[in-house]
Amino acid sequence: MYRQTRIFVPLTVPFDTKLWAETVIGGIIAPIVREELGLQWFWFSRYNCATEADSGDCDISQIPAEFMVPQNRHFRSVRFRYSIAEGSRQAFEDQCHSRIRDLGCCVSDFLNYDFLGDLGGDRHIGGERAEPRRKHRAQLVAEMYQAISRVVIDALVGPDPQGRYRVEQNDNPENPLGSSFESLHHLFCNITDVPLRVLISQMRVGTDWSGLQNVVQEVRVKF
C-alpha cells in the first residue's frame, strides 16, 4: 500500500527554532522506520507555507490554529510518504500517530498516496511515457528519495537537553559551509549534469521554486 501523512509542528519547544524539521525527523520518523514493521520504502520532505498550499494532502481545517506562525500565517510540516504491506499498515500508522501525539505534533489523517501519479508523473519522466516505463521510473525515484532520507537520518545528532535534533557538522574543507550534503549535492550535479540557475529579483535571490516575483536576472550555475 502507498500511504502518506503530513506532520504539523507547534510553535513550542522543541520546535521553536529552525531545527523544527530535523526534530520531527529525529524524534518521530527515525525511530519508526528503524523498526521496519512491514515498511518497504519511505521518504520525507519539509514545508513552510500558507494555508492554501497545505490543502492537497491533508485536511488543514483539522490542524489547530495555534500551530500557525503568526508573522506570515504559515504552517510548518513534514510530508511522510511510504510503501507498506497491507497487513502491517494499521499497526504502523497507530505507532506513528502515538509518537506524533507524544511530541505535541498533529496530523489530520493518514491517506492513500498516488505513488505512480507523483513519482511516475510527467515532472519525473520525459520522453516516452507509457505506463510500464512510468512504473519503473517511479520505483527508481522512490529508492533515490529513500536513500537521501536515510542519509539525513544517519547524519542527525541529538536530542539535546531541549529535545532538538540537528545535522552533524562537517569540517572537511570540501564542505565550506559545514554540511556533508555539500559534497553529496556536488556529486549529484556532477553525475546528472542537471541544469541549474539562480534567479535575482528586485528584493531577493532564489530559484524557480522560491516564488520570486519581478525577476530581473538569471544566472546559470555550474557545479
Global pTM reads: 0.90
Higher pLDDT, residue 173 or 35: 173
Mean pLDDT of the region 163-177 = 96
Do the bridges between strand 39-50 and strand 74-84 make them parallel or antiparallel, or are there none, so unpaired? antiparallel
Judged against a pLDDT cut of 80, whether residue 21 lies above it is answered with yes
pLDDT at 51 (0 to 100): 66
Q: What is the pLDDT of residues 158-169, one digit of tens each?
A: 999 999 999 999
Q: What is the pLDDT of residues 41-100, one digit of tens each?
A: 999 999 988 766 666 788 888 999 999 998 888 899 999 999 999 999 999 999 999 999
- Separation between Cα atoms, residue 100 and residue 80, nearest integer Å: 12
Do the bridges between strand 74-84 and strand 2-8 make them parallel or antiparallel, or are there none, so unpaired? antiparallel
Judged against a pLDDT cut of 70, whether residue 222 lies above it is answered with yes
**Domain 2-167 sits in which CATH superfamily?**
ACT domain (3.30.70.260)
Higher pLDDT, residue 210 or 168: 168
pLDDT at 15 (0 to 100): 96
pLDDT at 101 (0 to 100): 95
* Domain residue spans of the chain: 2-167, 195-223
Q: What is the pLDDT of residues 100-121, one digit of tens each?
A: 999 999 999 999 999 999 999 9
Greatest Cα pair distance, the chain, in angstroms, is 54
- Separation between Cα atoms, residue 51 and residue 9, nearest integer Å: 14
Higher pLDDT, residue 158 or 209: 158
* Cβ contact 21:133 at 8 Å: no
Helices (H) and strands (E) in the chain, counts: 6, 9
Higher pLDDT, residue 23 or 201: 23
Please give the mean pLDDT across all residues of the chain. 92
Judged against a pLDDT cut of 80, whether residue 211 lies above it is answered with no
pLDDT at 57 (0 to 100): 83
Count of C-beta atoms within a 10 Å radius of residue 66: 9
